[in-house]
A and B are shown apart, each in its own frame.
Chain A
Amino acid sequence: MDYALQQLLNALAFGAEYSLVALGLAVVFSIMGLVNFAHGEIIGVSAYSVFLAAALGMTSPIVAVLLAVAAAALAAIAFERVAFRPVRYAPTTTGLLTAFGVSIVVQNLFMLLISPKPQSVSILNGLNQMWFFGPFAVSSLQVMELIVSGLTILALVLFLNRSTLGLAIRAASRDFATVRLMGIKANRVIATAFAISGALAGIAAVFIIARRGSVSPDLGFSLVLKAFVACVIGGFGSLAGAAAGGMLLGFIEVGLLVALPQEYGGFKDALTYVIIVALLVYRPEGLLGQRVELGDKEI
């Protein structure tokens, strides 16, 4: 019983983290058709900011959390301004490859300017403790991951449904030109979407640093690959799909961890991807997706 509960919590926590990152990808994709491969490097910038600040003498974990989120949001806005704006109206493949290029540049900048080796960051280790509820021992980090992700998603839903800018983002995901006809500034809508996407990545970064206690240049890369897969199974561009896809991914992974014998544990990632690709055979448009075609963008 204890074991089953523990695994359930594991799955929920993994799933929550994938959902956060996948949502960040989906928000940006849905409004401008950009497949943001550099999302992992937004997580990277966030983590390295915390690393640098800690190295320079920052000690407060709360400040570190705020810094992580702010740095990620700013990094996302900066990436958009510098790299993605020139290809805003270009075909999807052009944007995708640009983002891939940005990802390579930033990862290598971490190597070049800081170090190719992992660097230890202990400032957020306090988040990762064991909590005891009667007979149960649970990881504080997992509980927080679950709660914070839930609250974040709730806040996102409220923002998208209540605020004018949120409505504009939802509208822009279908028809950007007409949103501009409402007098809403395109740049502002896009910058907001990137800021949201970045903030979500920053929250994920906090959990990653707390769990690993270190940062490395490819910190966010493999996580983002998984988040992409979550988006694809959820239906690319659908926000609900991204969140659901992330959760599903968490459950598949933990399920495999439980089911696979120890010596085959290394095949977990491979099998996860195989399962997901197999799902796509049956539902090419994803679980909650409408079909997003190659060049599905308007003026």
Chain B
Amino acid sequence: MLSVDNLVVRYGAVSAVRDLSLKVGRGELVALLGPNGAGKSSTINALTGLVTPASGRIVLDGQDISRVRTEDRIRAGLTSTPEGRHIFANLTVGENLRLGAAIRRDPKGVHQDIERFLALFPVLSERYGQAAGTLSGGEQQMLAIARSLMSRPKLLLLDEPSLGLAPKIVVQIFDFIGELKAEGLTLLVVEQNARQALRFADRVYVVSAGTLRHSGPPSSLADEHGLFNLYIGG
């Protein structure tokens, strides 16, 4: 479904991503792991087009989207839940969800989806008319994921969904991610919390200092020359 070839991202003189290639197959959940500053977020932002890569090719469903604008990539069925959630703090929970569906033209379907997420996350339902900035971190993360799903993406990129959340909430969030996968959604999940990320992952990529260090099934991480400890730990 997604194939990335020789991606390079630079910020001025700093190379954040160097010659990274990866693939995500339909229905797969792929984990992208690596330490702080490895270039994971840069990769995700290059995929959505929020940063312009120096070089490399991004192909979604056989279509080269490397030069396509962010807005049009979303319309092509790819979306991301950015690191740090970035919910619209000055808008209500409901308005956040509505904006998530901005590209859709079926008001009925949008309405149904909103109902579905409110049923799924009762907290959001309680806080429906409240400014999203007042939600707790965990609630904001659920809102952010729900908002991404409102556009009915084919491929969802999640950037550190566990960031700053209590272990119990992290487990909940990953349970939900597992359900999404079971429903057939394709996911690329960036994580530092390897243990959670590997619960549902089909395959794993490990990056550090912008370079791909390893790829393979989750089980390969445990045994291969201490990779797990070297780059990820815990």
Contact = CB atoms under 8 A, between A and B. Distances in A.
Interface of A: 164, 167-168, 170-171, 173-175, 177-186, 299
A167 B71 CA distance: 16
A180 B86 CA distance: 12
Nearest to B153: A183
A273 B80 CA distance: 48
Contacts of A167: 91, 95, 98-99
A284 to B, nearest CB: 22
9 contacts: A171-B91, A181-B86, A182-B100, A182-B151, A183-B71, A183-B74, A183-B79, A183-B102, A184-B103
Given A164-B98, A167-B95, A184 B71 contact: yes
B193 interface: no
10 closest Cβ pairs, A-B complex:
A183-B74, A183-B103, A171-B88, A178-B86, A180-B70, A185-B71, A184-B102, A182-B102, A182-B99, A167-B95
Interface in B63-105: 69-71, 74-75, 79-80, 82, 86, 88-91, 95, 98-100, 102-103
Taking residues whose C-beta sits less than 8 angstroms from the other chain, chain B's interface range is 20 to 34
B75 A183 contact: yes
B82 to A, nearest CB: 6
A173 B95 CA distance: 15
Nearest to B151: A183
B103 A177 contact: no
Interface of B: 48, 50-51, 69-71, 74-75, 79-80, 82, 86, 88-91, 95, 98-100, 102-103, 147-148, 151
Nearest to A166: B95
Contacts of B95: 167, 171
Given A164-B102, A171-B99, A181 B48 contact: yes
Contacts of B51: 299
Contacts of B103: 182-184
B71 A168 contact: no
Contacts, number: 68
B50 A180 contact: yes
A108 to B, nearest CB: 36
A171 B102 CA distance: 12
B151 A174 contact: no
B71 to A, nearest CB: 5
B70 to A, nearest CB: 4
Contacts of B90: 170-171, 173-174
A132 to B, nearest CB: 46
A167 B90 CA distance: 10
Contacts of A181: 48, 50, 70, 74, 79-80, 82, 86, 148
Contacts of B89: 174
A180 B225 CA distance: 42
Given A170-B90, A183-B74, A186-B71, A178 B82 contact: yes
Contacts of B80: 181
Contacts of A178: 82, 86, 88
A211 to B, nearest CB: 36
Nearest to B88: A171
A170 B148 CA distance: 18
Residue from A168, A177, A179, A182 having most chain B Cβ neighbours under 10 A: A182
A74 B50 CA distance: 29
A174 B71 contact: no
Contacts of A177: 50, 82, 86
A175 B87 CA distance: 9
Contacts of B99: 164, 167-168, 171, 179, 182, 184
Given A170-B90, A183-B79, 7 more contacts: A167-B99, A170-B91, A175-B86, A177-B82, A178-B82, A181-B148, A182-B103
Contacts of A170: 88, 90-91
Contacts of A174: 88-90
A248 B48 CA distance: 45
B42 to A, nearest CB: 12
